[in-house]
Amino acid sequence: MTSGGIRPGGIKRAVTAALFALTMFGGVALANPQPGQLNMTRGASTWSPEAYFLNNVALGVCVVIGILVFGAMFIAMFRFRKSRGAVAEKWSHNTTLEIVWTTIPVIILIVLAYLATGGLRTFADTTGSEMTVKVTGYQWKWRYDYVDYKGKAIEKVGFMSKLDKESDETRQLDSGLDPKNVQVDGYNTYLINVDKPLVVPVGTKIRFVITAGDVIHSWWVPALGWKMDAIPGIVNSAWTNIIEPGVYRGQCAELCGQDHGFMPIVVKAVPKAEFDKWLADQEAEANKPAQPAAPAAASTAAAPATAQATDAPVSQGHQG
Amino acid sequence: MAHAATHDHHHDDHHGAPKNFFVRWCMSTNHKDIGTLYLVFSLLMFFIGGSFAMVIRAELFKPGLQLVQPYFFNEMTTMHALVMIFGAVMPAFVGLGNWMIPLMIGAPDMALPRMNNLSFWILPFAFALLLSTLFLPGGGPAGGWTMYPPLSLQGDSVAYLVFAVHLMGISSIMGAINIIATILNMRAPGMDLLKMPVFVWSWLITAFLLIAVMPVLAGAVTMLLTDKYFGTSFFNAAGGGDPVLFQHIFWFFGHPEVYIMILPAFGLVSEIIPTFARKPIFGYKAMVFAIASIAFLSFIVWAHHMFAVGLPLGGEIFFMYATMLIAVPTGVKVFNWVSTMWGGSMTFETPMLFAIAFVILFTIGGFSGLMLALAPADFQYHDTYFVVAHFHYVLVTGAIFAIIAGTYYWLPKWTGHMYSEFWGKMHFWNSVVWVNVLFFPQHFLGLAGMPRRIPDYNVAFANFNMISSIGGFLFGASQLIFVGVIVHCVFFSKKKAMDRVWEGAKGLEWTLPSPAPYHTFEVPPVIHDEELAHGHVED
């Protein structure tokens, strides 16, 4: 496991055991939103369990404190009501009690801060990546450029990724189409499917460099465990290392104009061998001599063509 | 002592009030009338902002776009927030402060009565300007209430928005100056700072926050204006600017702003719970110190709204720790409210019910706040419905429930009549049930991955959105009961209110007749410690 910020053992194991019941509800490693889902996804990358784990710990702490505080309140409301003949007492101060209920929260916060700091440190560490993908947000589509892989620069592999045609037609006001019918393999993909997904290998530390061309967007795939703002003029970086092959869906998470709700993200994680073949195909496609003019726009122009070619198998797959 | 201060109340409750409607209500310098104007204005804005929310919930009732175009949806989310924050919650607190602070500290009026008139009358013009953008070509602001550039600069209504925000800011700053001047200079002899009601303390601290941060907002929006119309590049990367700079400046205003909307609520609840528990507030000094600590901390946590902008590791860690620290004084306040109830002799009139609901539901909002403070988890929560659920728990069941509680608490004092307790309780139970139906499922939506500010969503989010919308419509409808109760109390109620409306009520305002005469405390009252809301304060 690449993420070593929270060392296995001690606190983590104890808390995990204590929270077993909590993590059970809705917390299975689902890659995509499920109807009636109650908790965050555990995710599918090496880092995503950090966010999930912290969420569960913090939720558990809050539930316990809530039961104690609200319990005390309800007891007070029941016992000390005038209608039961309660007579108000006179005290309004208790130093010992006040010291106790200031100190205990501080201790709880220190534990939470310790756990969170570990998660932050591993997330901030983008060193040792084997692959770089540049993500650029535009109103209202994403552009992916493959920068390097296994220490080798990649030329001309990049494409636009936007809302798939079926969702786009269905989403129009008064389209008369039922969003429930937008499905891939029985899984509803309304507004969370694209014409051409980002394809990446599993078991590889991938560095994302994220920026934007017009306004601020935010690149978010819940299964990876994080989102990162895409800001014009600024290049942010983040990383992921996906464990299981699958199709992971997300959406733009920063208000970016009228079509903000129609800017999905689909990451297709495939085994390394399959990815190598896909990348070779893409490079071959890009280097075809069929494009005499406009070399700068070559990769962009090639996108629609390649989209047709690779779309079919990709949109079929989904994480079961 | 009340009789010495209000020698004329036997003849005419409104002695001294101008008979001419225009002179009385438009040219008023009387803190009670201006307080009433603020409260009526904020109630109106609450319904306008609420109707925008109804549009949002109606569109989100089921997947697929049924009612509005996405751009109009964005206008609705933006205007809902701006109207509720600057038009409903803040003016409501200013109205309560205007009405009650002079009565609670034994002052005859606000320190700067003419400025008081001006600071109110700016508001209707500011909101007329803001709301008019919805009817202009190009439409209203649609870039979110946070106005992040470059998106907000794409709108055609930037100048209107900025001018309206400037006016609101001027109004708030003048109101805050007035409150500080009143509290520091006009207390009756013997009303030491540490004998003031907690509500007065909370407003004193809030007023300093307002003066500190409203100019920051003014600066940020002015830079937006010059970027849009005068060719500057403060936030334009292509011209050497930085879009993230806006977020830093905005949230340096914006985070204290959210405490501006909750600290007076803490004060209100700290008045109401001791009254109905018939026991002084537990840990008065700790309460005051906690409010001050929260106010201080609010200045150094702004970047927790920006955990996903790509802050350096050190920045993330600092802002995470500082944010988590706020849980300590906030926890102290909650524990103190519970301890105030413990050992009391409680009754559950409508203000108390709303105050208790405040404590429970605000605490739930605080819990999700603690979860959001943890940066690695926030990478997932950020900009999702989890955040929407969080801030509506602290703003609706927090700020607005406290305002409603305060309104019921003092309504008999304002009008001289009792409101209908039955309909007050109807209002309470409907509000408390439907507000939870409205906002609780949004936690699940956020955790499952639904971003905020989207007009349409995947069918996986359909069931909770439908529940949430039903809760929204019914919560909205419940507020009509509130209007009914107020209108009935003001114009139709026959039941006279006593001077000391509530059996356990303490504090100077209850030594006055109900309704409070037009002029009060022209002769400063004599303070008796046992008359004060929190009893004797020792060590």
Mutate to test the interface with A, among B242, B307, B459 (most CBs of A within 10 A): B459
Torsion over CA: B345, B349, B350, B351 (sign): negative
Catalytic residue among B31, B80, B187, B392: B80
A34 chain-B contacts, CB cut-off 8 A: 448, 460
Cross-chain residue pair B344–A62, CB shorter than 8 Å? no
User: Which of A51, A222, A236 minimises the CB distance to B449?
Assistant: A222
User: Given B64, B370, B380, which is nearest A62 (Cβ)?
Assistant: B370
Q: Is the pLDDT of residue B539 over 50?
A: no
Cα A281 versus chain centre, distance: 28
The answer to whether position A12 is within a domain reads: no
Interface contact flag, B328 A102, Cβ < 8 Å: yes
pLDDT at residue B293, as a whole number: 96
Q: Give pLDDT, residue A32.
A: 84
- Residues B356-374: pLDDT tens digits? 999 999 999 999 999 999 9
SS3 at position A315? helix
- For chain A, state the CA radius of gyration: 25
Element (H, E) at A121: helix A95-124
Closest chain A residue to B342, measured at CA = A76
Same domain, yes or no, for A77 and A145? no
Cβ–Cβ contact B245 with A under 8 A: no
Q: Tell me what pLDDT residue A186 has.
A: 81
**A280 and A167 share a domain?**
yes
Residue B337's pLDDT is: 96
If asked whether residues A68 and A162 sit together in one domain, one would say no
For chain B, the average pLDDT equals 93
Q: What's the CATH number where A136 sits?
A: 2.60.40.420
Q: What is the pLDDT of residues A226-259, one digit of tens each?
A: 999 999 999 999 999 999 999 999 999 999 999 9
The whole-number pLDDT of residue B2 equals 43
**Quick check: B417 and B497 in contact, CB under 8 A?**
yes
Fold annotation for B33-531 = Cytochrome C Oxidase; Chain A (1.20.210)
Concatenated DSSP letters of B127-150: HHHHHHGGGSTT-S--STTTT-TT
Summarised one tens digit per residue, pLDDT across range B197-232 is: 999 999 999 999 999 999 999 999 999 999 999 999
B108: pLDDT strictly greater than 50: yes
- Provide the ipTM: 0.90
Does any CB of chain A come closer than 8 Å to the CB of residue B399?
no
State yes or no: is B172 an active-site residue: yes
Residue of B nearest to A99 (CA): B332
Q: Is B114 a catalytic residue?
A: no
- On whether both A281 and A222 belong to a single domain, the answer is yes
A207 and A254 share a domain? yes
| Cβ contact B342–A80 (<8 Å) | yes
A145 & A265 share domain: yes
Measured from the Cβ of residue A241, the count of other Cβ atoms closer than 10 Å reads: 23
In this structure, the answer to whether residues A198 and A119 fall within a common structural domain is no
Question: How many CB atoms lie under 10 A from the CB of residue A107?
Answer: 9
User: Which of A37, A80, A254 is closest, CB to CB, to B341?
Assistant: A80
Each domain of chain B, given as residue ranges in start order, spans 33-531
Residues in chain A with pLDDT < 70? 1-31, 290-320
Distance CA B186, CA B201 (A): 14
Number of domains in chain A: 2
Residue A24 is assigned to a structural domain of this protein? no
Q: CA of A20: how far to CAs of A12, A28, A56, B34, B179, in Å?
A: 12, 12, 9, 56, 52
User: Among A22, A6, A272, which Cα is nearest to A113's?
Assistant: A6
Q: Which of residues 337-396 of B touch A (CB under 8 A)?
A: 338-348, 356, 359-360, 363-364, 367-368, 370-371, 374-377, 379-380, 382-384
- Give yes or no for a contact between A193 and A264, defined as CB atoms under 8 angstroms apart: yes
pLDDT for residue B138:
87
Residues A159 and A256 in one domain: yes
pLDDT tens digits, one per residue of B332-356: 999 999 999 999 999 999 999 999 9
Q: Is B202 a catalytic residue?
A: no
Is A271 a domain residue?
Answer: yes
Between A131 and B530, residue with greater pLDDT: A131
Identify which has the larger pLDDT, A86 or B325: B325
Residue A120 covered by a domain: yes
Q: Is the dihedral of CA A200, A262, A138, B310 positive or negative?
A: negative
Task: Please check whether residues A165 and A241 belong to one and the same domain.
Answer: yes
User: B334 in contact with A at a CB cutoff of 8 Å?
Assistant: yes
Going by C-alpha positions, the residue among B116, B92, B90 that lies closest to residue B102 is: B116
Provide the pLDDT for residue A12. Answer: 55
Average pLDDT rounded to a whole number, residues B165-184? 96
Q: Which two tokens stand for residue A59?
A: 């939720």
Distance from C-alpha of B339 to C-alpha of B359, rounded to nearest angstrom: 12
Record: contact A90-B279, CB cut-off 8 A: yes
The reply to whether A253 falls in a domain is yes
Residue A120 sits in the same domain as residue A211: no
Nearest to B244 by CA among A254, A298, A32: A254
**Are A142 and A245 found together in one domain?**
yes
The DSSP bridge partners found for residue A207 are A132, A239
3-state secondary structure of B15: coil
**CB within 8 Å: A58 and B370:** yes
CB contact (8 A) between residue B328 and residue A106:
yes
Based on the fold, state whether residues A44 and A170 are members of the same structural domain.
no
Domain of residue A168: give its range: 131-287
| CA separation for the pair B254, B305 (Å, rounded) | 9
Look at residue A230 and tell me if it is in a domain: yes
> Searching chain B, which residue's CA lies closest to the CA of residue A227?
B379
The greatest distance separating any two alpha carbons of chain A, rounded to the nearest whole angstrom, comes to 93
CA distance B535 to B80: 42
